[in-house]
Structure 1
């Protein structure tokens, strides 16, 4: 059962060398803090990209008052989260992990987009969590009609909708909770209005407020 996962990790590590990058997954970002948190009781780890990173930075009190740990890194894709899943999640021994990733996969931050590849990476994370008795909450990708850093890609909102459909199916297959941010935050174009995300991707505090209510409801 572990062979496909180990094979994937081997390929990713090989690619890290090929790219000439010493820390493709940015394992160093939280290394020191992980040493401290590993000695503490951690209720929930929020794992993700800049959306998670900014949430913790802008609403630190929400995380700290609930004994939540923010492990978001800007620009990251599902393959990078898979590589850092053990140091940034498993080693902290949380009761629950909220996995929120996919925007940058669709935006092709690290490779041409493949829905199957993204879903496979997320499925591997769920499997690792299950092997370590960590409950999983799988969040949908937020609505977006385009990416300011990759304008040439055009409107990929339909790809996000299709990916979320797969993620919901995956959650059902793996018997984990599915957190549907997309349905709550989307507009008629399957994007987000300016009041929720001025750049169409990163939420305002109003957007985070909506997400907070939803995630707390699932966690409780």
Structure 2
């Protein structure tokens, strides 16, 4: 959910060599320090959050990177080639998914594969869906997405665009024999990288639509928004250091939800899953 260029270095938890034309990720110690602080329970991250001037500079620097690789296909290109066995599930998403690797690396391996990228919108994930999900031939995919569209990370979008992109990913999954889990996002009330935004109503609308769409289509729902909510239904401050991203306590709550929804998946892996 964070600006993609801001935490690109921190998201390099998949320490593998670049594949083909993909250059190695440039190190960014400040971004890595912020990401590490975000997942540490109780950490005060205010001094690590970039100023408006720093954010503007990072956005400008990110323009060139997006021109080279807008959907960030290079992020997992080498890691995808190293997947030797079909995983049980691939987690596709934004920073909520990406930072899970940082918070609990032991969760991921042959069984559960993380393909989150901080800052991404549904349009970028749709482009990544085939190489980062389908070609790994998992039993299932989990999609948690849409908040960065609301934040305008890749420009303004209509709500229908978010819906259509998620529908398209579900259609791709089903066409390739994958079970689908849809996840809700935290009940965010502010984006510190977009301080003028007031996203609470739009995030609530997104989560309500995802919940209804999952029910309508017979998909499994992972209600992470509820798992991370406090008594006021906003993000519980004990589970997040910035009101957006979970810390390790928050990810512990999320793991319990994930394990429950995986247990709900059909036992059969199906037969329609062939990716050239």
Structure 2-normalised TM-score? 0.69
Question: Paired residue for 1:115, among 147, 159, 182?
Answer: 159
Task: State yes or no: 1:35 paired with 2:81.
Answer: yes
Specify which structure has the bigger relative contact order, considering alpha-carbon pairs within 8 angstroms and separated by 6 or more residues.
Answer: 2
SS of the equivalent of 2:68 reads coil
Which consecutive residues of structure 2, in runs of 5 or more, have no partner in the other structure?
Answer: 1-64, 264-276
Question: Paired residue for 2:113, among 44, 49, 69?
Answer: 69
Structure 1-normalised TM-score? 0.86
Aligned to 1:87: 131
Corresponding pairs, count? 199
- Native 8 Å contact 2:87 2:111 kept in 1: yes
Task: State yes or no: 1:48 paired with 2:87.
Answer: no
- Native 8 Å contact 2:94 2:119 kept in 1: yes
- Native 8 Å contact 1:187 1:193 kept in 2: yes
- The 10-residue stretch of structure 1 (193-202 or 119-128) with the greater mean CA deviation from structure 2: 193-202
Aligned to 2:67: 21
SS of the equivalent of 1:22 reads helix
Task: State yes or no: 1:175 paired with 2:218.
Answer: yes
Deviation, structure 1 residue 171: 1.1
Task: State yes or no: 1:159 paired with 2:205.
Answer: no
Q: Give the number of the structure whose residues are more often helix, by fraction.
A: 1
Aligned to 2:257: 214
Deviation, structure 1 residue 23: 0.9
Which consecutive residues of structure 1, in runs of 5 or more, have no partner in the other structure?
Answer: 1-18
- Native 8 Å contact 2:224 2:254 kept in 1: yes
- Native 8 Å contact 1:138 1:176 kept in 2: yes
Deviation, structure 1 residue 188: 5.0
Quote the Cα distance in structure 1 between the aligned partners of 2:99 and 2:250: 12
Task: Give the alignment's Cα RMSD to 1 decimal.
Answer: 1.6
SS of the equivalent of 1:97 reads strand
